[in-house]
Every structure is written in C-alpha cells, then in structure tokens.
C-alpha cells in the first residue's frame, strides 16, 4: 500500500513538472469552487502524459486504481481520440449512486472525503479569525473533533445495518456549477461527446486545430463580433 502511494507521488511530481511548461486556461465556475485548469495538449504532450499514466496504472491492482491511479493526478479528457473542435459551457453537476452494492463499496470513501473537506474548511475558518482567543480556538477544535466522532458513529451504524436501510449517495442538494467541455473527435466527426472539468486536478484536452478551414472559420473571418458570442454578417 505504501509503495503505491510512493509511486503515485513520484509520477505526480513528474507530471506537474511537465505541465508547468504550459499555460492553462482558467475556467471560472461556481463561486464556492476553485477555477478549473484546462491544458491544451498537442500530440507530444499527450504522448508524455499517456506514458506517465501507463507507468503508474500498470503497477496498480484494479482495486487500487481508484485511490492511487493517474486520474487522481490529471483528468485526461480524451487521450485516445484527438479533438478537432470544442466549446465549454457551465452546467449543474451532481453525483447519484443508487445501486446498493456500489453504495456499500463507496461508503468508506465518502466518509473520508467528507471528513477531509469538513476539517480543512473548519480549521481554515478558525485560523482566519483573529478575533478568537487561544481558548476559543481550542474549544472549536474540540467541537470539530466531536462532530467527526458523531458522524463516524452514524457511518458505522449505516454499515452495520445496511441491509435494513435505503441508503443512497446523491449530491443534488448541494449541486454546483461546473465547466463542461463538448468536443468533436477526429475519428468521430458526426458524434460530439462531453466531459465535466475537474476543479481538483488539472484537465487536459488533446486538441489539434484543423489545418483546412471550414465554413464556420470562413464566416468568423468576415463577420463582425457585436457582443459576447454574437456575430453578424451583413448581406451584400
């Protein structure tokens, strides 16, 4: 287990060093979330990232890929199918898991994610409040620890009584705006796919601009941009 973490950290350091040579697009989404970072990869960068992905994931058992895999370092949007066209929209996104076995399998992970996020934000608010005394901070830290213990007890109760409960995983009540990228692929010109952009790890789009101009490009060359995404071409 420790060796998987070590390998993950080594590949992560190499990967982030590679990406530092490029400038990402900053995609602002929900005000409560960090901006998504989108890197546009040419064939050379895409091949480097695929090599690093193989270096890491090929050493992992299937059950460990979710925790230590390359997707925890970089969100590769389309590594095996080059995009020739894309656009980004902001959409509401939430997760939903209803299948009992999948819910059971994810419970421990869901608890750890909640605990880490809760602890991070709770402690951040404490450290950023200069009106609190040392005693106040200590009391709040104890409250944080107590709340985690309480949630842990409920978590264990759910696991022990799972077969008698209707347990689901759903984040719809706290859905946020996420960037979503729609793209057309080189080998699937008539089929457009879409992927959500991550705010936790860098996103990479494998994209090569078509050499041959198309009708849209020709239109944009002669049309006038009135405002935003509105273009007008006067009839002659």
36 band by pLDDT with thresholds 50, 70 and 90: confident
Separation between Cα atoms, residue 223 and residue 234, nearest integer Å = 8
* pLDDT score, position 214: 63
Q: 178 or 61, which is more confident?
A: 61
Which of 13-17, 78-82, 192-196 is modeled with the greatest confidence? Answer: 13-17
pLDDT of residue 203: 95
Domain boundaries, the chain: 2-91+181-232, 96-170
> Which strands sit side by side in the sheet containing 36-41, from one edge to the other?
25-27, 36-41, 203-206, 75-76
pLDDT for the residue numbered 224: 79
134: alpha, beta or left? (left if phi > 0; alpha if psi -120 to 50): alpha
Give the pLDDT confidence of 68-77 residue by residue, as tens digits: 999 999 999 9
Q: Taking Cα atoms as reference points, which of 77, 78, 95 lies closest to residue 27?
A: 77
Q: Is the pLDDT of residue 185 over 90?
A: no
Q: List Cβ neighbours of 235 (8 Å cut-off, separation of 6 or more).
A: none
List 103's β-bridge partners, or say none: none
CA distance to 132, 136, 139, per residue, from 129 (Å) = 6, 11, 14
Q: Mind listing the pLDDT tens digit for each residue in 74-113? A: 999 999 988 888 888 877 666 688 889 998 998 998 899 8
């Amino acid at each position: 287990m420790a060796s998987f973490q070590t390998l993950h950290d080594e590949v992560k350091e190499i990967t982030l060093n590679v990406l530092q040579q490029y400038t990402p697009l900053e995609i602002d989404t929900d005000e409560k979330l960090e901006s998504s970072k989108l890197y546009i990869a040419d064939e050379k960068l895409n091949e480097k990232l695929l090599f690093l992905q193989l270096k890491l994931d090929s050493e992992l058992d299937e059950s460990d890929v979710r925790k230590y895999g390359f997707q925890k370092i970089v969100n590769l949007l389309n590594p095996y199918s080059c995009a020739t066209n894309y656009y980004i929209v902001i959409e509401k996104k939430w997760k939903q898991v209803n299948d009992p076995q999948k819910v059971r399998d994810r419970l421990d992970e869901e608890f750890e994610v909640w605990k880490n996020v809760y602890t991070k934000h709770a402690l951040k608010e404490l450290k950023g409040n200069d009106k609190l005394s040392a005693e106040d901070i200590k009391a709040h830290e104890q409250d944080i620890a107590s709340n985690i213990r309480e949630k842990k007890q409920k978590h264990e109760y759910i696991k022990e009584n799972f077969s008698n409960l209707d347990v689901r995983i759903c984040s719809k009540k706290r859905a946020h705006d996420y960037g979503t990228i729609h793209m057309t692929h080189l080998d699937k010109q008539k089929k457009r796919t879409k992927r959500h952009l991550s705010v936790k790890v860098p996103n990479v789009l494998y994209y090569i601009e078509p050499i041959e101009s198309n009708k849209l490009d020709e239109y944009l060359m002669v049309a006038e941009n009135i405002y935003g995404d509105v273009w007008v071409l006067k009839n002659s």
